[in-house]
Structure formats: structure tokens, C-alpha cells
A = this chain, B = another copy of it.
Amino acid sequence: MAERLQGIFTPNLVPMTSAGEINEGELRRYVDWLIERGVHGLYPNGSTGEFTRYTVEERRRIVEIIADQTAGRVPILAGAAEANVKETLRACEYYHSLGCRAVAIVAPFYYKLSPDSVYAYFREIGNNTPIDVTLYNIPMFASPIDVPTIQRLSEECDKIVAIKDSSGDIPNMIRMMQAVRPNRPDFSFMTGWDAALMPMILVGADGGTNASSGVVPELTRKLYDLTKSLQIDEARAIQYDLVKLFDAMLYSAEFPDGFRAAVDLRGFNMGRGRQPQSDHQRTGLEYLSATLQCMLASHGFTDEPVGGCPVGEAPSVDAGEVSRIVQSVLSEMKQRGMA
């Protein structure tokens, strides 16, 4: 039996060329860099990896590159959700053939499905997949996978071996573990909500698929190790820093552009994501980048920006927001003949 999923899996961002295509060279370099910094696994085609913005062929190409470059050094969890059950199963087969450890499949999105439908969907996949499946629960974006559904699927489908939960809801994670573990001690519980990583592990989760591990793999890995060894005070301090960094990347720009900007600062050429940006957003990202650089510099991951950083606490203000606000005020005042 394959090893149980645990530790920190990095949901891969995809570097783009100036022509808007996958930047294979930079992606390979990024994979090496992540593995060298200690992440336990890689997770292409997740939400962070903007899977919905690629074509079927591109999603396959991303996993091909990552699997080839990883060459077995760490396990790969490949996002495999496609347009329908048949297409998703085809992806499962392909990622299995590439040697991936498991796939992660988000519940159907766009339509908000009932628990019955979510069950029927995963049941059909679970019964036909050649590769282990991780359920992916992200109620903010997709149909939620509720606790009774997880329990039922875990009992009926051996191939369903884990859940990745991105809700950040700790009591609900406890409910999942209570419902599933008595019958499936091998089932794995991963959190996708970086701001709750330490407490999630302390209540019993097995690890995380955390976007911030693509930016500061050293820090996320250290947080995981300190928490597992119950060095609570040290872990808490890092968790606090991670909340600040995570919030800045998550809330100051359209997801995942803040994360892309931060990986740029670590020395990669991420290029522009596929979602077009307004002028305001581009200005906002420049401000955000300066803020992030100060945060990363305070941990020694980058130099300070030219002009230096504020002393004391890193600024909690959303720099991008300020820029957007200023421009919006000016344009409103102009419209009203006030400026």
C-alpha cells in the first residue's frame, strides 16, 4: 500500500512566458527550488495553479513537466478535475501513467450541487479510478463536500484516501476526522488554509497543501516541524508571521496574483497570469510587491527594497488598496467636477 499523504504539499503556481504560454524552463527551476527547500510534495493544477484558466492539454502538460522534473524525489498530487466524470477519469488515468502519487478532485463547481449529487459524482469516480483520489473541499469556490458525504465515500471507496479542506474551519475538520478515522485509519486530512495550519495539525490533521509554501517553503516547513514536535511557542510565532504574509498575498490582489508577485521576489520570472488586469490593479500590485519585499526581507529571504522598509512592525495596511482608493477618489472627483 502506498504511503499515507502527510506533510506540506505545495500547490504549484505556473510561470508564464511573455507570450502567455507555460514557461517550462522556469517551472522546472521552480520545482527544484521547492524540493530543495524541503516541501514534502507537489500539487499541480490546484486553485493556486489556476487550473480553470488552462486548456485540457495545458493542464496535462503542466503535470508532465512537474512529474518529469521531480523524478520521484517527492510525491505528486495532481489536480484532475475536468468537465465531467468521463473526462475526469481520463485525467486520472493519464496522471496515474505519469507516476503521480494521487489526484485531487474538486467537487463540481459553477452549479451548486446538493450533497446527494456530490456523493454520486465522487462515487462514480471512486469506483473507476486507477489512482488514489483526494477529495478537494473548497466551499468558497465549489459545491461543498459535507461530513456525511465524506464519511459515506470513505466507507464505500477504498481508492478515496484523503480530503483536502480549504475552508479553514477547524471544528468541521474535527467532525470529518471523527466521522472517518474509526473505519479508515489510513485516510488523510490536509488543510489548504495556511492561516490555520498550526492549529489544524494540533487537532489532528496530517498536513497541508498551502500556497504560502510556494513562496516561503522554508517557513512553512519549519512551522510544520515545530508543530509536530509540540514546540508550541516557537510554532505560534511563525504561524502569526504566516498569517500576515498570507493575508497580504491573499487579500491585496486578485488571487493568486499576490502569490505570483511574491515568488517573483524569490527570484523567479512568473510573468503575468491569464486573468487580465486593470491599470488600477497593476499599480496596486506594485505597491503590494514593495510590502511583500519588506516582509520577506524581515525573514532574510530577500533584500529590502530600495528606500528601505518601515521600522518596527511590518505595515498592516493594504498597499494595493490604498492605490486603488486614491485613483478611485480622483476619478470620482473628476467626474463630479470637483477636481
Binding site for B on A (CB under 8 A): 20, 47, 52-56, 83-87, 108-114, 116-117, 119-121, 123-124, 140-142, 168-171, 174-175, 177-179, 182, 193, 195-196, 198-200, 202-204, 230, 232, 236, 239-240, 243-244, 247, 254-255, 274-278, 280-281, 310, 313, 315-317, 319, 322, 324-326, 328-329, 332-333, 335-338
Contact = CB atoms under 8 A, between A and B. Distances in A.
Contact of A281 (B120, B175, B275, B276): B120
A202 B199 contact: yes
Contacts of A329: 322, 325-326, 329
B117 A281 contact: yes
A336 B314 CA distance: 10
Contacts of A141: 110-112
A171 B198 contact: no
Given A52-B109, A111-B254, A117-B278, 6 more contacts: A111-B141, A113-B275, A116-B281, A117-B281, A199-B200, A317-B335
A29 to B, nearest CB: 24
A22 B141 CA distance: 29
A14 to B, nearest CB: 12
A90 to B, nearest CB: 10
A278 B85 contact: no
B109 A109 contact: yes
A239 B179 CA distance: 15
B236 A276 contact: no
Number of this chain's copies in the complex: 4
B317 A84 contact: no
Contacts of A124: 276
B87 A240 contact: no
13 contacts: A52-B111, A55-B56, A108-B275, A110-B142, A111-B141, A111-B255, A116-B277, A120-B275, A120-B281, A121-B275, A123-B278, A174-B195, A322-B332
A277 B243 CA distance: 32
Contacts of A336: 310, 315, 317, 319, 322
Contacts of A123: 276, 278
Pick from A171, A277, A278, A317 the residue with the most CB of B within 10 Å.
Answer: A171
B195 A171 contact: yes
A136 to B, nearest CB: 12
Those 5 A-B pairs whose CB atoms lie nearest each other, nearest first:
A199-B199, A171-B195, A120-B276, A120-B278, A116-B278
A105 to B, nearest CB: 13
Contact of A175 (B120, B182, B200, B247): B247
